[in-house]
Amino acid sequence: MTEAEEVRRFWGDLGLPGLLDLHVHFLPPPIERAVWREFDNGGELIGRDWPILYRQAAEERVELLRSFGVRRFPTLPYAHKPGAAEFLNAWSREFAAGVPEALWTATFFPEPEAASYVARLVADGVRVFKVHSQVGAFHVDDPLLDEVWATIADAGLPVVAHVGSGPVGTAYTGPEATARLLRRHPGLQLVIAHLGAPESAEFIELAETYDHVHLDTSMALAPFFTGGDPLSADMVARLGRLQERVVYGSDFPTLPFRYADQLGWLADLGLGEDWLRDVCWNNARRLLGI
């Protein structure tokens, strides 16, 4: 059985029309090559050997996702310095215009221009935002972003936020800044990437406290990412109770293991088929208004 057949059997057995994957990356080729070099070299924000399994050209990766039955996916650009966001956003908009399954995704950075370009993006119909506090080296509650967050909260748009300390923590990662942000903007539709690993318990608590906080599963169940420490029984039970606010994400293509493996790890949590249907389809469909 091919990997595509495995993936399709997974969602087919659940009676789903496919998968909605909320953690997929497509980046401008020069930036993508630079990111992959960091993974290849085990850079300071990677911290280990990280062999990327899916290194095909972008067109081939799109076809691979189609063969898996992934019906919609974002591109998740993330600005790593001032002045980078608008270039990334223009490229992502053009990419999404040419790939029907792609959700137009944008990013922002704490810079004086952010409030104006985010307002334009919202007016133009962007679907998802992405921020990466580890790579960007900023706190998500930076004062330069306050108007940005207010605009996004008013629009009800989801923001996939890498704010946990995996794979390598920095002064800008961890739950503290996110907790401060949510106290100021409690209506934000934050999607915490990687279940916030390794601070998953703290980020689960934020999801329990704020009704619009979601958690994406990308990498968080992988022994490679967690160091072999499985989620505790208590955390699994809490994820079960948060059934409507957990969403499937893969982190494709920067995976050191097969795409199909994460689906098996999701099922191995033992939370049942209704939970899997919500996580792999219903929750993202509602969150995105699909």
CA distances (Å), origin 128, targets 174, 227, 279, 287: 22, 30, 18, 10
**pLDDT tens digits along 68-88:** 999 999 999 999 999 999 999
Residue 152 corresponds to which tokens in the numbers above?
């996004």
* 37-54: average pLDDT: 86
Residue 228 has pLDDT above 90, yes or no: no
Q: Give the integer Cα–Cα distance in Å for 66 and 53.
A: 17
Comparing CA positions, the residue from 209, 220, 267, 202 lying closest to residue 242 is 209
Q: Which residues make Cβ contacts (< 8 Å) with residue 39, sequence separation at least 6? A: 46, 50, 52, 254
CB 217 within 8 A of CB 269: no
Residue 65's nearest CA partner among 12, 118, 128, 21 is 21
pLDDT in tens, 262-276: 999 999 999 999 999
- CATH code of the domain in which 235 resides: 3.20.20.140
Angstrom distance (rounded) from CA 216 to CA 261: 16
For residue 287, pLDDT over 80 is answered with yes
SS3 assignment, position 252: strand
Q: Quick one: CA torsion of 175, 180, 181, 187, rounded to 10 degrees?
A: 100
- What domain range includes position 100? 3-288
pLDDT, residue 191, reads: 98
User: Can you tell me whether residue 255 is helix, strand or coil?
Assistant: coil
- Share of residues in the chain with pLDDT > 70 (%): 99
Query: Strand 128-132 to strand 70-74: parallel, antiparallel, or no bridges (unpaired)?
Result: unpaired
Site of tokens 């790890």: 265
- Count of structural domains, the chain: 1
Return the DSSP state at 190: E
Alpha helices in 18-125 (DSSP H): 29-41, 58-68, 85-98, 114-124
Across 111-137, average pLDDT: 97
Phi/psi-derived region of residue 97, left when phi > 0, alpha when psi is between -120 and 50, beta in every other case? alpha
Q: Where are the alpha helices (DSSP H) in 137-188?
A: 146-155, 175-184
Residue 42 binned pLDDT confidence (cut-offs 50, 70, 90): confident
Mean pLDDT of 55-64: 97
Question: Which H or E run includes 240?
Answer: helix 233-241
Asked if residues 165 and 173 have their Cβ atoms less than 8 Å apart, the reply is yes
Burial (CB < 10 A; 0-12, 13-18, 19+), residue 255, is buried
